[in-house]
Amino acid sequence: MPKANAKTHQPLAASLGEQAYMALKRMIITQTLHPGDQVNVAQLSAELSFGRTPIHLAIHRLEREGLLDVLPRKGILVKAETLDSFLELMAARLLIEPWLTGQAVERASGELVEKLDALLTQGREHQRNQDRQGSMQVDRLFHQTLYAHAGNDILAEFAGSLLDRSMRLWFRPAMPIVDNPTVAELEDLLDTVRRGDKNEAIRRMEAHISSIRSRFLA
């Protein structure tokens, strides 16, 4: 009987842990929680309406992704991206994401092109409305949709965690969305996917990531 109960509760715990993870990550990415903020489990549990176990699961997952630091007897610190850590992040993205892009182009289908095209339609609308969070979500989904077709789930997941760390840049005051060239860059990238031009797609992705690096350093 105890074994049956354990099996019954395990999927629910996993589901709540995932929900808490997504909710807490959203707070960090959108800078509802700012870099340098110090929080604790009780505070997050009350604010997000999750029990302590899902919050603990979320915290340890985000610590592994480099978004939080767990400080013994002090609480949880929202990590800031230093110049050095940001440059390392961009270097990692430049190693992984162009390769995933090339693999995705090799395996591309009409369905992939349709999905990416639909996302860019949303992206243009968000940009016109100066909807920073909507634009961020479209950018994230575009990359993740592309990488999901690369045929390497491990690298696609890792690229997703690097991308999430970069998402906080969308909420820097010095980066007005109306002047953000991301949609145009992704449109150029989609054109190479549509044409099946692997080498040009790799080059476009490298240029896209490099432009993010340049805007942060400006």
- Residue 175's pLDDT band (cuts 50, 70, 90): low
Helix/strand/coil for 69? strand
Q: Which two tokens stand for residue 200?
A: 């040009």
- Domains of the chain, first to last: 2-78 (1.10.10.10), 83-217 (1.20.120.530)
pTM: 0.76
Chain segment 128-172, per-residue pLDDT in tens: 888 877 888 888 899 999 999 999 999 999 999 898 888 777 666
Is the pLDDT at 183 greater than 60? The verdict is yes
pLDDT in tens, 207-216: 999 988 887 7
Q: What whole-number distance in Å separates Cα of residue 54 and Cα of residue 9?
A: 13
pLDDT digits (tens, 9 = 90+) for 73-109: 888 999 887 788 888 999 999 999 999 999 999 999 9
